[in-house]
Chains A and B, each alone.
Chain A
Amino acid sequence: MAEHHLTLPLDEATVRGLGLGDTVYFNGTFVTARDEAHIHALEKAEKGEPLPFDLDGAAVFHCGPIMRDLGDGRWEIVAAGPTTSSRMNNLEPKFLRTFNVRAIIGKGGMSRPTVDAMQEMGAVYLAITGGAAVVAARGVSEVKGVHWLEMGMPEAMWVLEGDDFGPMTVAIDAHGNSLFEAIDAEVERNVPSIRQRLGLD
């Protein structure tokens, strides 16, 4: 499986070239967005209002970091692991189609409508190790800014500069394949023998 060190923003050809299980690192600017930032961004788009950060070709990180306030609008990143992506399942397909985002970074995977939207638009889902918040924070060289801080530290949109941010694993590619669906199928195959072992049949 290949290893890629990519520069943001991403173009469609690069993203379509990523294979399931490949390892990816990012250099360049990307943003965080959780439940409330997704909702807020989509509301703004519906009203025809611009976003404070251009998401065309962007990478969006499902993350609510711990930041230390250094004053004068400056912030230090303390810990920044991924949050559970499935909470955004009902928002992500529209989010991908509206903003032309090229990569979602998170943990735990996302459901079929998101896989389909990624195939259609040319986007990938990158799994980064859940809980490994210090490793992730070390891959951020600078906190460039924050938007919508009134939604709270976890829910705000943080603008981060990646410096070999990773490792991330391509877990949903831009061709309709999901590593999580493959694991789900394997889990289903394993259930009957576990049931038998536990005397449930």
Chain B
Amino acid sequence: MIPDSLIEDVVVQMLRNAVTKLPHDVEDALVRAHATETDEVPRTQLKTILDNIAMAEDAVTPICQDTGVQIFFVKQGAVETGDLVEAIGRGVARATGEVPLRPNTVHPITRANHKDNRGVRMPYINIEPTAEPYLEMTVMPKGAGSENMSQMAMLTPSQGIKGIKQFALDTLVRAGGKPCPPIIIGMGIGGSADISIHIAKEALLRPLGEHHPDPDIAALEKELYEALNEIGIGPMGLGGRTTLLGLAIEYAHCHTASLPVAINIQCWAARRCTARIHPDGRVEYPTHPGGA
């Protein structure tokens, strides 16, 4: 059995990795964006972002003060675990003090803050059973600036692909500079209201440069990415060529009378960390092979 104490320790390390060092695909995309910009204002924004990434990694300190709420995606392979939810919660509380993370999690109405990022249903944990011989956990610390720009629409089937494209364009224009561009757009198409939002967020877990295995969906990703990047919002909404670092779509089959579509926006600080825990206690961090 994988002991709770190991899961707790791994969660602390995952959060430290995630908030202090971006995955390579994200950093590489920001370097390319800086090389693309010609005007002084967007170049200054991207230069500051790249300086900040280097300084955060060097000092093992959070890239952004908004260390988000902690969303976990767990793939429960053929391994035995104890009280997984409690162990993850304890890991989040410890990381809040040790990394440190900002205590962001509050009661939705009273706004009371327990100061350890734990609360009712928080940290939020998605668990999916798999046949793999290990436990895989991914954490996505999600800041509010980008999350607040999320949109969901119940389109009619007759609105079809045009409706989906229009929704993406409208959502981008409405978000403007607020979600800390350059952004990544996660789109969920189909399913039901809740499924579309869930898979929109899941789409953000896909590394930049990878496309959906379905060639039609991959073509739609490319078409939307290239067209929407002509919008001119630019880094931090101050104008420029780079508004999107990427756009990923996930889809699910849906009711014949429905066409749900959702967008979850990710800021440039696209933080994620994955850990694999093997039954013999070995731990790998595929997103952070060199450590934090």
User: Which residues of chain A have a CB within 8 Å of any CB of chain B?
Assistant: 1, 21, 23, 36, 63-66, 68, 78-81, 83-84, 86, 107-109, 127, 129-135, 137-138, 152-154, 167, 169, 171, 179-180, 182-184, 186-187, 189-191, 193-195, 197-200
The residue that B169 contacts in the complex, of A131, A189, A191, with Cβ under 8 A, is: A191
What is the bound-complex CA distance between A186 and B48, given in angstroms?
24
**Is A135 a contact partner of B52 (Cβ separation < 8 A)?**
yes
Known: A129-B45, A134-B61. 12 other contacts (CB 8 A): A64-B65, A81-B66, A83-B66, A130-B145, A131-B180, A131-B269, A138-B55, A152-B106, A183-B238, A189-B232, A198-B165, A199-B165
Indicate if B104 sits at the interface (CB-CB under 8 A).
yes
Q: State the Cβ distance, B172 to closest chain A Cβ, in Å.
A: 9
A191 to chain B minimum Cβ distance, whole angstroms, is 7
> Smallest distance from the beta carbon of B45 to chain A beta carbons, Å?
5
List the count of A-B residue pairs having beta carbons below 8 Å apart.
171
Contact of A183 among B67, B101, B237 (CB under 8 A): B237
Tell me which of B52, B67, B178, B232 contacts A108 (CB under 8 A). Answer: B178
> Residues of A contacting B101 with CB < 8 Å?
66
B51 touches A131 (CB 8 A): no
Closest-by-CB residue of B relative to A132 is: B52
Please list the residues of chain B having a beta carbon within 8 angstroms of any beta carbon in chain A: 40-41, 44-45, 48-49, 51-52, 55-56, 59, 61-67, 100-104, 106, 111, 113, 115, 143-145, 148, 162, 165-166, 169, 173, 176-178, 180, 223-224, 227-228, 230-234, 236-239, 267-269
User: A197, B227: Cβ atoms under 8 Å?
Assistant: yes
What chain B residues lie within 8 Å of A153 (beta carbons)?
Answer: 102-103, 113, 115
Q: List 21 A-B contacts (CB under 8 A).
A: A23-B44, A65-B102, A78-B62, A84-B148, A109-B237, A129-B48, A129-B52, A129-B236, A130-B180, A131-B64, A134-B55, A134-B56, A135-B51, A180-B176, A180-B237, A187-B176, A194-B230, A197-B227, A198-B169, A198-B227, A200-B162
Distance in angstroms from A159 CB to nearest chain B CB is 17
The secondary-structure label for the interface of chain A is mixed
Q: Tell me the bound Cα distance from A1 to B238 in angstroms.
A: 15
Q: Which of A23, A133, A169 has the most CB of B within 10 A?
A: A133
Residues in B with CB closer than 8 Å to A109 are 176-177, 237
A135 near B48 with CB under 8 A, answer yes
Please name all residues of chain B whose beta carbon is closer than 8 Å to the beta carbon of A107 when the two chains form the complex.
Answer: 145, 177-178, 180, 236-237
B238 contacts A169, CB within 8 Å?
yes
Known interface pairs A68-B100, A107-B180; A131-B267 also in contact (CB < 8 Å): yes
Give CA–CA (A183, B8) in the complex, Å.
46
Enumerate chain A residues within 8 angstroms of B230, measured Cβ to Cβ. Answer: 190, 193-194, 197
- A84 and B65: CB pair below 8 A? no
Residues of B within 8 A of A171 (CB): 238
A1 to B165, CA, bound (A): 38
> Most chain-A Cβ atoms within 10 A of its Cβ — which of B55, B64, B224?
B64
What is the distance, in angstroms, from B153's C-beta to the closest C-beta of chain A? 15
For the complex formed, measure the closest distance between the CB of A43 and the CB atoms of chain B, giving whole angstroms. Answer: 16
